[in-house]
């Protein structure tokens, strides 16, 4: 099923999803934003999963990364897909170091929801501090 959303609507949808799912720590939003048969090709551990697997992963991230914050650095939309280039930042609880990793994610839409995901991320590395108010 194709999507009826425009390219700009898809971008806004993805941006809102990240804001709620990551920055606002609302894991349950994934049930609203994804199709019932949503397929994540690159879930935790590089294995495919669905909505429940991704929600569990995010709940674990909330616990491990108390100040986890994602910024979307770039976004591309074409057809029924959106690609994002993201930076994930947090403070390591044990060392107090500012950490980050970068990721690319490809989302495919069906109707007005996300139906499929592919992603790649860099390894976590020490980064620099950031001011969330400026993001």
Partner 1 sequence: MSAPAQSNSEVIEAYLNTVMCKDASVVDRFFDPDVEYMVNGTPTPDPEGVLPLISAECHAAVPWLGLNRGRRAMREFLAHMHRNLEVTAFGPREVNSDGNKAAGLPLVSPPRAVDRPNRGDLLLRPLRAPGRVDRQISLPGKHIRCRIDIPHWRQLDAGDRWRTTSSADVVMRI
H or E stretch covering 56: helix 51-64
Name the segment binding partner 1 (CB under 8 A); options: 22-30, 52-60, 62-70, 121-129.
121-129
For the CB of residue 42, give the shortest distance to partner 1 in the complex, in Å: 6
Spell out, one character per residue from 38 to 57, where the chain touches partner 1: x when CB under 8 A holds, - when not: ---xx---x-x---------
**Least separation, in Å, of the C-beta of 57 and partner 1?**
17
CA triplet 34, 99, 54: central angle to 5 degrees? 20
Number of residues that bind partner 1 (CB under 8 A): 32
Indicate the helix (H) or strand (E) that contains 121. Answer: strand 113-121
- How far is CA 76 from its chain centroid? 15
Cβ-based neighbours of 82, under 8 Å, separated by 6 or more: 10, 11, 13, 14, 75, 76, 106, 107, 109
- Check residue 121 for interaction with partner 1 (CB under 8 A): yes
Q: Is 112 in the site for partner 1 (CB under 8 A)?
A: no
Where do we find the tokens 């999963």? 49
- Closest CA relative to residue 117, chosen from 70, 68, 83: 83
29 vs 104 by CB, closer to partner 1: 104
Of the two residues 20 and 42, which places its CB atom closer to partner 1 in the complex?
42
Cβ nearer to partner 1, comparing 28 with 120: 120
Residues that bind partner 1 (CB under 8 A): 7, 41-42, 46, 48, 73-79, 81, 83, 85, 87, 100-102, 104, 106, 118, 120-123, 125-130
């Amino acid at each position: 099923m194709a999507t009826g959303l425009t390219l700009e609507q898809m971008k806004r949808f993805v941006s809102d999803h990240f804001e709620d799912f990551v920055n606002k720590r609302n894991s349950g939003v994934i049930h609203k934003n994804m199709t019932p048969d949503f397929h994540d090709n690159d879930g935790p551990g590089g294995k495919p999963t669905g909505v429940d697997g991704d929600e569990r992963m995010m709940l674990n991230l909330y616990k491990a990364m108390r100040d986890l914050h994602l910024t979307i650095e770039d976004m591309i939309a074409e057809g029924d897909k959106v690609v994002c280039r993201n930076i994930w930042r947090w403070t390591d609880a044990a060392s107090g170091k500012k950490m980050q990793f970068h990721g690319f994610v490809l989302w495919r839409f069906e109707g007005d929801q996300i139906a499929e995901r592919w992603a790649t991320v860099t390894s976590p590395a020490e980064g620099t501090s950031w001011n969330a108010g400026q993001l």
